[in-house]
Each structure stands twice: as structure tokens, then as C-alpha cells.
Amino acid sequence: MIVARLIVKTTLGPNMEYRNEIPLGDQFAAAMDWWRDAGVDYEFSDEIVALLVDETEAEDPRPAAPAKVEAEKKPPEPKVKSADLPRDLAAFRDWWVGPDNPFANGHAARVAPIGKQGAPLMVITAMPEAEDRDSLLSGPQGRLVGNVLRAMGLDPNLAYFASALPCHTTLPDWDQMAADGLGSVIAHHVTLAKPQRVLLLGSKIPAVLGHNPAAPPDSFSAFADTPTLATFAPDRLLDHAHQRARLWKRLCQWTAPQ
């Protein structure tokens, strides 16, 4: 309950004026008691300051501000570095389908690359088809890719076929796999295969390889000195006739004599 001091006693003076008989100090004390009883004892601003601190309390009653710790977060180390990968193509293929490959996160079979070193074209698709077991791109996506190569005048048997992931994976986390070193694995594979050209079938692959994610994927144009053309994954091409037509136009420009 608010103390009785808040009751203002007035008297009627000879000039019919109200006069306050409570001294100024008592008025101030009554105001402080009112705020205290109302539960308001702090003024909140950028810093918390106690307004009703007893002088006998600690010298600095304000809560100590937590010390700011300037800790630089270092990016995690990638799971795979190119320096740790096999140095020849045959050994790399064994590693690719073996238990040490950390990017085999799906439940489907791991599928090895197909082709010979120095092929006129290396085709890198995002992942094997869901039905692939013993051979990469053995289903409708593979038929589409084979038809594209034949239309380019290239025998599919002469091409080198690979995938960015060793097995079919549902909703792969491309950003995380890029941080884990998948881009260096793909680049290392291209270095070992030594193709004359590279066809990337997967719009996420350029960003995994370090290409600016804000830039169009089809602006990725080379692995070092190896000419490269990037487009959508085969499943996307199968579902969109417009993208197939656009890819054909780009392929004609890409392979045209200079």
C-alpha cells in the first residue's frame, strides 16, 4: 500500500488559495515510495542503471556486461583433399566405388565411371540413375545422353562417362558436400581422365567446383584448359523440351569449328 505521506494536506489561505504544507523533501520521498510500491526501481536505457540504490550497497551495483569474445570461426577441414586421392585413373576408380569414398550417402549401388583416358568427351552427370547397378546411365537418362552424342557425330562408346556422386542420392546436400571437398574430387577425376572436352550435366555441379553460385551455371566454361559446357541434369532435360532445344543450340555453337 502506498504510504500515508502521499496524502497532500492543504489549507485555505486568507486569499482563498490552496497551499501545500508538506515540505519538498517529504514530497520527494513520497514519490520515491510510490514508484517503489509500484515495482519500478530501474530506468532502462542502453545501460541498466539502478535508481534506488542504497549507498551502503556494492560500489558498482550495475550488472557486469559479459566480456565480448572475438573468436574467429575457422571453416571445417574438408573430408577429402586432392592430395590424398589416388594418383592414377585405375586406382581412383577403385577408390570411387570403395568404402573410403565419403560421398556415397545413398542406399543405392555405387557405380564406377566408364571409358578410357584421353576420350574426346567426358560426360559428368550429377549422379547415377536410380536403376543403375553395373553400368552408369543405363536407363532413360543414358539413352537421352547417347542420342545427344550421336547427334553431335560422336560414338557414345568413345566417350568417358562419370558422375559427381558415386550412387543415386535423394535430395543431396550439395553445399555440405562442396564444403567436404567434393569439388576437388571431381576436378581430380577430370585431371586423371584427361578428356578433350567436358560436358557437365547438373546445374549444381559448377557451384560445387567453386563457380560463383550467383552466376548462371552455364557460364562455367572450363576445367583449367579443358573446354567445358554445363547444363541441367538428364532428368530435368527429359522433362523439359525447351531445355533440350536450348542445349542442342549451345552444343552446336560449342563444337563449331573456330
Triad 220, 222, 226: Cα angle to 5°? 160
| β-sheet bridge partners, residue 230 | 200
CA pair distance 80, 186, nearest whole angstrom: 11
Measured CA distances, 7 to 22, 26, 30 (Å): 9, 11, 9
SS3 226: strand
Q: Is residue 94's pLDDT more than 70? A: yes
Using an 8 Å Cβ cutoff, are 159 and 121 in contact?
A: yes
Q: Which of 53, 80, 49, 28 is nearest to 208 (CA)?
A: 80
111-131, pLDDT tens digit by residue? 999 999 999 999 999 999 999
Cα separation, 82 vs 131, in Å, equals 30
Inter-residue contact 124 to 186 (CB < 8 Å): yes
Name the residue ranges covered by the structural domains of the chain: 4-50, 82-255
Comparing 15-24, 222-231, 236-245, the range with the smallest average pLDDT is 15-24
Strand order through the sheet with 198-201: 160-163, 122-125, 198-201, 226-231, 222-223
Helix axis angle, 241-255 relative to 140-151, nearest 10°? 40
pLDDT digits (tens, 9 = 90+) for 8-59: 444 445 555 555 677 888 888 888 887 777 766 656 566 666 666 565 555 5
Is 67 buried (19+), middle (13-18) or exposed (0-12) by CB count in 10 A?
exposed
CA atoms within 13 A on the CB side of 144: 22
82-255 folds as: Uracil-DNA Glycosylase, subunit E (3.40.470)
Terminal-residue alpha carbon distance, the chain: 95
pLDDT band at 6 (very low <50, low <70, confident <90, very high): very low
